[in-house]
Amino acid sequence: MKSEFLLSLALLGFLSVDPGLAQRGDAETTAKNLENADQYGKAIEDLEARLNETVDELSRQKIHTEELKKENEDIKSRLEATEKDIEKLKQTAHRIAFSVSLANSSEVYRGPCSDKTLSFTRVFSNTGDGYDLNTGIFTAPVSGLYFFTFSTYGYNTHTTGAILLKNGVRQVSTYDSPTADGADSGANAAVLRLDEGDKVHLELWDDGQVFDNLNGHTTFSGFLLFPA
């Protein structure tokens, strides 16, 4: 009986709870829900703002990428044009040949003289401008193997012939001492390895003399075999 009584009192106590407590609980829950909703709204706004910034950044990057693409196309076009120009220059530089004779008009005797360098004034060809008609010297525009040939003609009063020199050093020559046969002629040739800027020319022997006219008896020619 005692235990049943105590259980009844407990049930009565539970049923007699102050209704104000339940109302305060609902208000707190509502306030908390409103606070959560406000925080959620702010989070959505922040997320939307970051998303807009990302979209703007992507748009800027797209524009920048298009600009870089256009610049790359321009650089590629200029590079291709430069390569073509370089190839043309290479082809032009490898076209080197000259052919000259001593007499540009009437008859010419050269020597004996203190300046023994032969200056050939009649130019048949001078592709690459390696030969200087004012000095008689050929200067190699590019390094490579060159072929040179020359001919000389003279009378028996003096030594006839000439010497081919590379940078002042004798290479090959023609030579005829004075004889009773009236006239002498000779010819020679050489293949020389030249570096860019090396110089080749012909000069007379001591007390030497050569002759030429428009028939081209005394000549000097050379050309690039291949660059190296």
Q: At CA 162, angle to CA 157 and CA 167, rounded to 5?
A: 150
For residue 24, the model assigns a pLDDT of 59
Strand (E) or helix (H) holding 47:
helix 19-93
For residue 71, the model assigns a pLDDT of 87
Give me the phi and psi of 118, to 5 degrees please: -85, 125
Is residue 184 a contact partner of residue 84, using CB atoms and an 8 Å limit?
no
Query: What does the pLDDT profile of the chain (228 residues) look like in tens digits?
Result: 555 544 454 444 444 445 554 455 666 777 677 677 777 788 888 888 888 888 888 888 889 888 888 888 889 889 888 887 677 656 655 799 999 999 988 899 999 999 999 999 999 999 999 999 999 999 999 999 999 999 999 998 899 999 999 999 999 999 999 887 788 999 999 999 999 999 999 999 999 999 999 999 999 999 999 998
For residue 181, the model assigns a pLDDT of 78
Give me the phi and psi of 119, to 5 degrees please: -105, 115
For residue 88, the model assigns a pLDDT of 61
Is the bond preceding 141 in cis, omega lying within 30 degrees of 0?
Answer: no
Is residue 110 a contact partner of residue 204, using CB atoms and an 8 Å limit?
yes
- Other C-beta atoms closer than 10 Å to the C-beta of 199 total 16
Strand (E) or helix (H) holding 11:
helix 2-15
Kindly report the pTM of this predicted structure. 0.62
> Torsion angle of alpha carbons 141, 147, 153, 154, nearest 10°?
60
